């Protein structure tokens, strides 16, 4: 959108950050720490902000030897090109991540112990990159809440707008300088001036099927993170005449259930060792096997004749098993047993392999089963896919089962090309004035994504982009803008600190837990005595409405019914479940 003298500005801030995920939280924080008044916007409603950071494990990459690290990263890029200065900047910062955690979060990070030999141990210096964490546990929302807390500690400098998507960047026609952002706010179109800079941190395009097909060449992938990454950053970058890069790169965790849900279940099943152990395999569209089922997950990349490529996408794959395997999984005792038992409850059943093949439209399934058995009984080797023979058992008597699965997607990496200063690069190779980028949108990973690097990148790029966007610039005298948003109620911040003072009557007590997904604590009031709970009231919670919000009433019902807080957590909402049970226990212990 081109600025003209008739353009009316509704408000002015020093910096506008588009996207309140991990990178946006960092950009807003560091811009504020450098004296900037920041507007931080997100298209999601409160409770859904956070992007993919909300769903991450929170581990970040780290290493001591920058030369060895650079060598390892370059091998993962091959044969793709890379920006030398951007990679050097990233590697230098990786070596300082322990100090970063201590300086900016006052946390002594600890080694996770995951992938001690690197995600690609075949490469030289693969063990130079390790992962560390500031988390108390993994995949419990702690890392996201930590970043969000730092934003909320700066509400005097940061204004937050939820459900306020960016529509267009506003630029100067002659210089291409980014002047502000057009935003849809409470049904109104608002032109907001950015005095110093704009940071694009609005994530990828994994929830935009048109872009998934156009850029990734895949028909359908199941998102396993946020549902709000719809590729708006790509549109904004194209409008700004930015050069795009890394558009074909994405990562995943293999397969999820295919049940027609927006976010499918069982996203890490590819790692469940007891699942793919026996008379079971994954069948492609025609019923034949197409990848090594027991191979360790490398964010979706599978071995392919000396290289690693993303799993070939199938449109309607299935997990196929016989009766013996079904019974084995029904009696599974591994750490994933509850999820495995729920997974097989979705199975389609048939008396014969031929009938099952027709039910799932996989005509070559009977031959695939014969081939599977032949490799075990005759060849004693999976000569095509090299699965460990100890994990393979011949199919025996029916009935037979198939579970509909779907290839999933964690996040994309494409976006505007950025340099080592996180400046967005235009089609001529020059920085676009006042426009920056951070996080998943346009990160530096061209291919073969390495685990823990997106967290490191959002911490690094968020800081660089925020600090650079905050640098004071002389305001163009020709631009007429008001000085703030205080005169228009609709432009006030959505961020508020929630009070936790609640009344109690006789036989009542309050319990609080801050260990849910949301940064806000879960507050409960219980009624009863030390032997019997009569009532549980959830007085405050801002968990994700479509996950934790749905789990809470189910869990409270189970606790009251069994008269214990030690009930099973709700699948897919472990953090919320743990926090609610913790709050109930705290309150219950206060009762006489």
Residue 569 per-residue DSSP state: P
pLDDT tens for each residue of the chain, 592 residues long: 888 878 899 999 999 999 999 999 999 999 999 999 999 999 999 988 999 999 898 999 999 999 999 999 999 999 998 999 999 999 999 999 999 999 999 999 999 998 999 999 999 999 999 999 998 777 777 899 999 999 999 999 999 999 999 999 999 999 999 999 999 999 999 999 999 999 999 999 999 999 999 999 998 899 999 999 999 999 999 999 999 999 999 999 999 999 999 889 999 899 899 999 999 999 999 999 999 999 988 999 999 999 999 988 899 999 999 999 999 999 999 999 999 999 999 999 999 999 999 999 999 999 999 999 999 999 999 999 999 999 999 999 999 999 999 999 999 999 999 999 999 999 999 999 999 999 999 999 999 999 999 999 999 999 999 999 999 776 554 455 555 555 677 888 988 765 567 889 999 999 988 777 776 789 999 999 989 999 999 998 878 777 778 889 999 999 999 999 999 988 778 888 888 999 999 999 999 8
Backbone angles phi, psi at 177, to 5 degrees: -65, 135
Distances (CA, A) of 116 to 5, 68, 75, 468: 59, 15, 18, 35
What confidence tens digit (pLDDT) does each residue in 100-151 have? Answer: 999 999 999 999 998 999 999 999 999 999 999 998 777 777 899 999 999 9
The label of the residue with tokens 């030390």 reads 530
- According to DSSP H, which parts of 323-452 are helical? 323-330, 337-344, 353-359, 365-374
**C-alpha to C-alpha distance for 179 and 189, rounded to whole angstroms:** 16
**C-alpha to C-alpha distance for 169 and 183, rounded to whole angstroms:** 9
Sheet holding 110-111, edge to edge: 59-62, 130-133, 110-111
Backbone angles phi, psi at 15, to 5 degrees: -135, 140
Strand, coil or helix: 114: coil
CA gyration radius for the chain? Answer: 26
The label of the residue with tokens 């700066």 reads 154
Pair of tokens at residue 168:
């267009």
Backbone angles phi, psi at 579, to 5 degrees: -70, -40
Residues 6+ apart with CB under 8 A from 235: none
Beta bridge partners of 244: 416
How many residues does this entry show for the chain? 592
Question: From the CB of residue 173, how many other CB atoms can be counted at a distance below 10 Å?
Answer: 9
**C-alpha to C-alpha distance for 190 and 487, rounded to whole angstroms:** 14
Q: Are 267 and 252 in contact (CB under 8 A)?
A: no
Residue 430 per-residue DSSP state: -
**CA angle (484, 229, 497) in 5-degree steps:** 45
Pair of tokens at residue 39:
């507007």
Residue 55 per-residue DSSP state: G
DSSP states along 218-253: -S--EE-S-S---SHHHHHHHHTTBPEE-TT-EE--
């Amino acid at each position: 959108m081109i600025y003209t003298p008739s353009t009316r500005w509704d408000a002015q801030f020093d910096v506008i950050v588009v996207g309140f995920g991990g990178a946006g939280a960092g950009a807003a924080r560091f811009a504020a720490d450098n004296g900037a008044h920041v507007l931080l916007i997100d298209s999601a409603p409160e409770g859904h902000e956070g992007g993919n950071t909300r769903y991450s494990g929170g581990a970040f990459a780290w290493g001591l030897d920058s030369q060895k690290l650079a060598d390892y990263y370059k091998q993962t890029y091959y044969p793709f090109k890379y920006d030398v200065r951007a990679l050097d900047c990233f590697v230098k910062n990786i070596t300082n991540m322990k100090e970063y955690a201590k300086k900016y979060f006052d946390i002594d990070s600890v080694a996770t112990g995951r992938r001690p030999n690197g995600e690609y141990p075949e490469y030289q210096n693969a063990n130079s990159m390790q992962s560390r964490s500031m988390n108390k546990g993994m995949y419990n929302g702690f890392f996201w809440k930590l970043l969000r807390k730092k934003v909320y500690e700066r509400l005097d400098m940061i204004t937050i707008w939820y459900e306020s998507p960016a529509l267009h960047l506003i630029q100067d026609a002659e210089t291409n300088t980014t002047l502000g952002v057009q935003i849809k706010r409470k049904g109104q179109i608002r032109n907001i001036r950015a005095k110093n800079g704009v940071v694009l941190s609005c994530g990828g395009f994994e929830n935009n099927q048109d872009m998934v097909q156009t850029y990734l060449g895949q028909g359908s992938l199941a998102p396993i993170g946020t549902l709000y990454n719809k590729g708006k950053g790509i549109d904004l970058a194209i409008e700004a005449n930015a050069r795009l890069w890394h558009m074909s790169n994405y990562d995943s965790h293999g397969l999820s259930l295919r049940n027609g849900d927006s976010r499918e279940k069982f996203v890490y099943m590819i790692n469940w060792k007891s699942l793919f152990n026996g008379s079971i395999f994954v069948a492609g569209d025609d019923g034949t096997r197409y990848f090594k089922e027991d191979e360790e997950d490398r964010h979706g990349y599978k071995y392919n004749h000396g290289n690693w490529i993303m799993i070939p996408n199938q449109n309607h794959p299935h997990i196929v098993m016989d009766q013996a395997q079904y019974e084995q999984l029904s009696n599974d005792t591994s750490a994933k047993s509850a999820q495995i038992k729920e997974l097989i409850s979705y199975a389609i059943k048939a008396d014969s392999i031929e009938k099952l093949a027709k039910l799932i439209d996989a005509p070559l399934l009977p031959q695939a089963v014969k081939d599977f058995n032949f490799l075990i009984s005759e060849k004693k080797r999976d000569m095509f896919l090299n699965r460990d023979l100890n994990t393979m058992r011949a199919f025996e008597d029916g009935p037979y089962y198939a579970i509909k699965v779907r290839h999933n997607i964690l996040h994309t990496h494409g976006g505007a090309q950025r340099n080592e200063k996180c400046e967005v690069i235009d089609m001529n190779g020059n920085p676009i004035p006042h426009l920056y980028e951070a996080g998943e949108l346009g990160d530096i990973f061209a291919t073969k994504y390495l685990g823990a690097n997106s967290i490191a990148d959002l911490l690094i790029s968020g800081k660089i982009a925020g600090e650079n966007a905050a640098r004071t610039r002389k305001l163009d005298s020709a631009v007429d803008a008001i000085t703030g948003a205080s005169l228009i109620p609709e432009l006030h911040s959505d961020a508020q600190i929630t009070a936790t003072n609640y009344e109690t009557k006789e036989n009542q007590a309050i319990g609080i837990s801050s260990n849910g997904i949301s940064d806000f604590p879960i507050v409960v009031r219980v009624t009863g005595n030390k032997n019997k709970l009569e009532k549980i009231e959830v007085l405050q919670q801002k968990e994700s409405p479509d996950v934790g919000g749905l789990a809470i009433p189910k869990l409270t019902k189970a606790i009251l019914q069994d008269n214990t807080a030690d009930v099973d957590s709700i699948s897919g909402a472990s953090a919320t479940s743990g926090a609610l049970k913790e709050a109930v226990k705290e309150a219950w212990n206060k009762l006489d």
